A and B are shown apart, each in its own frame.
Chain A
Amino acid sequence: KAGVTQTPRYLIKTRGQQVTLSCSPISGHRSVSWYQQTPGQGLQFLFEYFSETQRNKGNFPGRFSGRQFSNSRSEMNVSTLELGDSALYLCASSLSSLLGTEAFFGQGTRLTVV
């Protein structure tokens, strides 16, 4: 079965612009989480969606937002981009909210802000 698909793989944007990243989870998975990976901070949790509802949010400013559609696909939006937003953005999907459900990651979208 197909894995987690993230598009686009690479993106270059200018400061002040906004960007939308897309994630298609594994078929049947209803939970989608987003993470930001930077060299200095490692992998940091952004937010998690389950059945179109955001259930939890990490410690990121309101410029970072997301949504989930009825088919479980998710999008993440970053507005008013800053240089520090340059990072690898990873999406992970899992079956449900049950404890111990492993998350499966996509290959990520490499965002560069210039």
Chain B
Amino acid sequence: DQQVKQNSPSLSVQEGRISILNCDYTNSMFDYFLWYKKYPAEGPTFLISISSIKDKNEDGRFTVFLNKSAKHLSLHIVPSQPGDSAVYFCAASGSGGGADGLTFGKGTHLIIQP
């Protein structure tokens, strides 16, 4: 049973527009969420994170929103740039800290079109 779901396998967005990537989770013990970006043949690169005590975290063009009651988070990229084309993974961590590992979604392939 998938505890972290990214229901859109791919997303195409025009350059300069907003990209919104969505993630849903089922485990209410998750209280820390992360987004990773992955290029082919490379390991995931950490982008941004959010703790469950917050509902928004912003870092430059990237903003993550968390809706705990809906068990939903989203990553907004504004404005989208060609270099943003990659696979984006949502990940969650439980109250055990790093010990219980990260649970990942299956990823969303973001394609930025010129």
Contact = CB atoms under 8 A, between A and B. Distances in A.
Interface stretch (B19-27, B64-72, B75-83, B98-106): B98-106
Nearest to A56: B99
B99 A107 contact: no
Nearest to A96: B98
A100 B32 contact: yes
Interface residues of A, number: 32
Main secondary structure, interface of A, reads strand
A58 interface: yes
B11 to A, nearest CB: 16
Interface string B92-114: 01011111111111110000000
| Nearest 9 pairs of A and B residues by beta carbon | A45-B101, A105-B43, A42-B106, A43-B104, A55-B99, A99-B97, A97-B97, A105-B44, A102-B46
Interface of A: 4, 6, 31, 33, 35, 41-45, 47-48, 50, 55-56, 58, 90, 92, 94, 96-108
